Amino acid sequence: MGTYRIEWKRSALRELKHLDRPAISRVITAIESLASNPLPTGIRKLQGSQRTYRLRVGIYRVIYELHESRLIVEIIRVRHRRDAYRE
């Protein structure tokens, strides 16, 4: 397994900017670790999707898609756990 490239949706970057500074730091560190291991222990696949996963970072959830053929981790959402699964 090679190194994956991290890509962000614009909406996920906007959501990240609304977090406090310590949370931003923790979330970015966790997301950067996905480049070397996109499916670490504790990752859950979201129901109803072939390649969408959830990463827990404290009270926040990072929702991402894994494109294995292109070696890309696409960050879709960064939200508080109570809002993470709402559209």
- In angstroms, how far is CA 72 from the centroid of its own chain? 12
Chain segment 16-46, per-residue pLDDT in tens: 999 999 999 999 999 999 999 999 998 999 9
Does 85 or 78 have the greater pLDDT score?
Answer: 78
Q: What is the pLDDT of residue 1?
A: 58
Q: Does residue 47 register a pLDDT over 70?
A: yes
Q: In whole angstroms, how large is the CA radius of gyration of the chain? A: 12
Q: What is the pLDDT of residue 57?
A: 95
Note the CATH architecture for domain 5-80.
2-Layer Sandwich (3.30)
Q: What is the pLDDT of residue 82?
A: 86
Quickly tell me which residue has 């909406």 as its tokens. Answer: 11
Picking from 7, 9, 11, the residue whose alpha carbon sits closest to that of residue 83 is: 11
Q: How far apart are CA 40 and CA 53, in angstroms?
A: 11
Q: Domain extents for the chain?
A: 5-80
